[in-house]
Structure 1
Amino acid sequence: MIIICEPQCIGFEHSPFNAALVTLVKYTFPDEKIIFLAETEHIQFVKDVIPSNLENIEFKTIKVPPRHLFDQIRFPLEFRLFKKVFDFAKEKKSEKIIFSSIRRPGIVLVKLFIRKYRNTDCIIVLHSIIEYINNAPYKLIEIPFWLRFCLSFANIIRLKYLILGPTIEKEFLKKLPALKKYTITIDHPYFFKPEQKIEPNTKMIRFGFFGVGSHRKGIDLFFQLADEIKARQTTYKAEFIMIGPLVDKQIYKSDSVLIPSPKNPLTSEDFESYAKKLIMP
Structure 2
Amino acid sequence: MSKQLFYIEPFMRGNQHAPFNAAMLQVLQCVYPEAAVTLWCSPDHLLALKEQSPLSAQITHKPLNVPALQTANKIRWFYKHAAECWILTKLLIQAHSDAVDLVYFAFLSPPAQWLLSCYRVFFFKKCNIIVQLHGLELLKSSAQNKAVDRLYAWLLRNAFSRKRSGLYYIVLERRARSYLQEKQLIPPAHLLYIPHPYLFPQPVARQKSANVVTFVHLGVARLSKGSQHFFELAKQFKEEIAQRKLIFQVVGHLLPEMAPYVNSYVVYPKKGEMLPLAEYQEALASADYALFCYGTDSYELTGSGALMDAIAAHKTILGLRNPSFSEIFAIVAQPPGVLFDTLEEMEQYIRSIIHLKTPSQTDREVAFKMLQEHFGVANVAEELRIQLKRVLC
The root-mean-square deviation of aligned C-alpha atoms, in Å, is: 3.7
Alpha-carbon deviation of 1:192? 0.8
Classify the secondary structure of the residue corresponding to 1:133: helix
Q: Say whether the 8 Å CA contact 1:97–1:120 is kept in structure 2.
A: yes
Q: Which residue of 2 aligns with 1:56?
A: 58
* Pairs aligned (count): 274
Counterpart AA for 2:64: I
Range with greater deviation from structure 2 (130-139 or 106-115): 130-139
2:278 is the alignment partner of 1:272: no
List runs of 5+ in structure 2 lacking aligned partners: 289-314, 316-357, 359-393
2:119 is the alignment partner of 1:120: no
2:105 is the alignment partner of 1:80: no
Counterpart AA for 1:22: L
Alpha-carbon deviation of 1:29? 2.0
Overall identity of the aligned pairs, in %: 20
After superposition, what is the alpha-carbon deviation per residue over 1:159-198, rounded to whole angstroms, capped at 9, x for unaligned?
2222123244345545x34424132122222221247999
2:147 is the alignment partner of 1:134: no
Q: Residues 219 and 173 from structure 1, CA distance in 2 versus in 1: closer, same or farther, beyond 3 angstroms?
A: farther
Q: Which residue of 1 aligns with 2:10?
A: 7
Counterparts of 1:20-35 in structure 2, within 5 Å, are 20-35=23-38
After superposition, what is the alpha-carbon deviation per residue over 1:110-152, rounded to whole angstroms, capped at 9, x for unaligned?
2123341122122222222x11112247779x75862452343
CA distance in 2, matches of 1:95, 1:78: 22
Q: Residues 265 and 136 from structure 1, CA distance in 2 versus in 1: closer, same or farther, beyond 3 angstroms?
A: closer
Q: Which residue of 2 aligns with 1:164?
A: 172
Of the candidates 103, 106, 111, which is equivalent to residue 109 of structure 2? 103
Range with greater deviation from structure 2 (154-163 or 68-77): 68-77
Q: Which residue of 2 aligns with 1:213?
A: 221
After superposition, what is the alpha-carbon deviation per residue over 1:50-104, rounded to whole angstroms, capped at 9, x for unaligned?
325x221111112235546588776654442211010121233212111111211
Of the candidates 255, 261, 268, which is equivalent to residue 259 of structure 1? 268
Classify the secondary structure of the residue corresponding to 1:149: helix
Q: Which residue of 2 aligns with 1:91?
A: 97
Q: TM-score, normalised by structure 2?
A: 0.58
Counterpart AA for 2:105: F
Alpha-carbon deviation of 1:210? 2.4
Classify the secondary structure of the residue corresponding to 2:104: strand
CA distance in 2, matches of 1:232, 1:170: 46
CA distance in 1, matches of 2:197, 2:224: 21
CA distance in 1, matches of 2:152, 2:240: 52
Classify the secondary structure of the residue corresponding to 2:141: coil
Counterparts of 1:212-231 in structure 2, within 5 Å, are 212-227=220-235, 229-231=236-238
CA distance in 1, matches of 2:233, 2:52: 32
Counterpart AA for 2:88: F
- Which of 1 and 2 has greater Rg? 2
Counterpart AA for 1:273: E
Q: Say whether the 8 Å CA contact 2:14–2:45 is kept in structure 1.
A: yes
CA distance in 2, matches of 1:72, 1:111: 20
Q: Say whether the 8 Å CA contact 1:136–1:146 is kept in structure 2.
A: no
Q: TM-score, normalised by structure 1?
A: 0.78
Q: Say whether the 8 Å CA contact 2:102–2:127 is kept in structure 1.
A: yes
Alpha-carbon deviation of 1:154? 0.5
Range with greater deviation from structure 2 (81-90 or 38-47): 38-47
Q: Residues 193 and 51 from structure 1, CA distance in 2 versus in 1: closer, same or farther, beyond 3 angstroms?
A: same
Q: Which residue of 1 aligns with 2:295?
A: none
CA distance in 2, matches of 1:120, 1:220: 45
Classify the secondary structure of the residue corresponding to 1:146: helix
Range with greater deviation from structure 2 (95-104 or 63-72): 63-72
Q: Which residue of 2 aligns with 1:179?
A: 186
Structure with the largest fraction of helix: 2
